[in-house]
């Protein structure tokens, strides 16, 4: 009897272990949520441009179409979607922030103003852009809605991109037609040679290295060259034969991704440079621009636009494969992408 009981217990334990092993082997991994792709830009309604947000390809209007409006950048936290840009008021254009679709004015509408980039850290909202002082454009930083001038207004200046690390605020743009980096409000000209004109379009900071992209030109009538600066050191992305510009930069580990465009002599070709090596996103048949890049888990998301022959079509390229975000009836453009 005792032997029978032991056999039964032994068989029971084996069955449980077998069941446990079987469950562990066959049980699927916990489901993971796919990343959500947020893109912003604008699309014509037949009369004016309407600021738009696309969430996984589904469009939402940020403006009502009364006045022309443009969304320029997007940043997403765990709970909130922030978009910046600008909208006309009938006499000027107003720099704006849309938080979850609700608009807040950053400027008072007296002079032309625009917001171009946003970064959020520790619940602080940093936005950069420019505002005209009646004579020149002044580069500006808004922190939690409070404006600070980055330039003195003597010459025209533009702030195009902001990136925050710890307590350091990096802003790039141009002052007096020279690519400029402002770190905590202190300006550094990236090219001191007076024979050159240049612009910083985007900044990304990682491991104490400051990566910037934009373009340079030898003089007002020469062709722009797509450019990067790493800690102030200049590198050209094209040879200057055709007009080109870098518009956005993203670092994934040690890999540097830059997107922009280069002319083929007839049309602009949307391009991505990975570590300086160029890949065309479009074939050059129609005019196209790449505006923004974001990399997640080795997937490379790029947004921009491409002409269909009659209108610009808003585009998203994931790993080089294009998806249209607009139907091509009215011109549309995507200016920024954020993947969360």
pLDDT tens-digit readout, 100-131: 999 999 999 999 999 999 999 999 999 999 99
Q: In what order do the strands lie in the sheet with 233-236?
A: 197-206, 209-217, 225-230, 233-236
112-131: b (≥16 Cβ within 10 Å) or e: bbbbbbbbeeeeebbbbbbb
25 half-sphere exposure, CB direction, 13 A CA radius: 6
211 half-sphere exposure, CB direction, 13 A CA radius: 19
pLDDT of residue 196: 81
314 touches 325 (CB < 8 A): yes
295 touches 277 (CB < 8 A): no
CA 248 to chain centre: 6
Confidence label for 191 from pLDDT (cuts 50, 70 and 90): confident
Cα angle 303-304-308, degrees, rounded to a multiple of 5:
130
Percent of residues, the chain, with pLDDT higher than 90: 86
pLDDT of residue 7: 38
257 touches 272 (CB < 8 A): yes
pLDDT in tens, 283-305: 999 999 999 999 999 999 999 99
pLDDT higher than 60, residue 229: yes
- Which of 11-15, 80-84, 260-264 shows the lowest per-residue confidence on average (mean pLDDT)? 11-15
pLDDT higher than 50, residue 9: no
pLDDT higher than 80, residue 16: no
What value does the mean pLDDT of the chain take? 91
Multiple choice CATH, 110-331, 3.30.200.20, 2.120.10.80, 1.10.3720.10, 3.40.1780.10: 2.120.10.80
Confidence label for 194 from pLDDT (cuts 50, 70 and 90): low
pLDDT of residue 251: 98
DSSP 111: S
301 touches 295 (CB < 8 A): yes
Q: What is the pTM of this model?
A: 0.90
pLDDT of residue 68: 98
Question: How many helical (H) and strand (E) elements, i.e. helices and strands, does the chain have?
Answer: 1, 28
22 half-sphere exposure, CB direction, 13 A CA radius: 6
């Amino acid at each position: 009897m005792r032997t029978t009981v032991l056999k039964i217990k032994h068989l029971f334990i084996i069955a449980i272990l077998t069941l446990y092993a079987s469950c562990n082997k066959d049980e699927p991994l916990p489901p993971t949520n796919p990343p959500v792709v947020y893109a912003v830009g604008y699309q014509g309604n037949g009369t004016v441009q309407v600021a738009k947000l696309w969430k996984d390809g589904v469009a939402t209007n940020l403006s009502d179409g009364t006045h022309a409006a443009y969304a320029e950048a997007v940043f997403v936290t765990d709970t909130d979607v922030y978009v910046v840009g600008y909208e006309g008021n009938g006499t000027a254009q107003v720099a704006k922030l849309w938080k979850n679709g609700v608009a807040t004015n950053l400027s008072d509408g007296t002079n032309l103003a625009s917001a171009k980039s946003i970064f959020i850290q520790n619940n602080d909202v940093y936005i950069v852009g420019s505002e005209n002082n009646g004579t020149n454009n002044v580069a500006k930083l808004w922190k939690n809605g409070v404006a600070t001038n980055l330039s003195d207004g003597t010459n025209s200046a533009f702030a195009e991109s902001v990136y925050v690390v710890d307590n350091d605020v990096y802003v790039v743009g141009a002052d007096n037609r020279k690519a400029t980096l402002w770190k905590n409000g202190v300006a550094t000209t990236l090219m001191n040679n007076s024979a050159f004109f240049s612009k910083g379009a985007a900044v990304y900071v990682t491991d104490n290295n400051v990566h910037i992209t934009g373009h340079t030109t030898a003089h007002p009538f020469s062709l722009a060259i797509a450019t990067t600066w790493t800690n102030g050191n200049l590198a050209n992305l094209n040879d200057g034969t055709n007009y080109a510009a870098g518009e956005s930069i993203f670092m994934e580990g040690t890999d540097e991704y830059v997107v922009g465009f280069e002319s083929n002599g007839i049309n602009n070709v949307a391009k991505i440079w990975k570590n300086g090596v160029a890949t065309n996103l479009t074939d050059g048949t129609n005019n196209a621009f790449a505006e923004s890049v974001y990399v997640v888990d080795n997937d490379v998301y790029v947004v921009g636009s491409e002409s269909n022959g009659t209108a610009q079509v808003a585009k998203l390229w994931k790993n080089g494969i294009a998806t249209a975000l607009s139907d091509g009836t009215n011109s549309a453009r995507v200016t920024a992408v954020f993947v969360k």
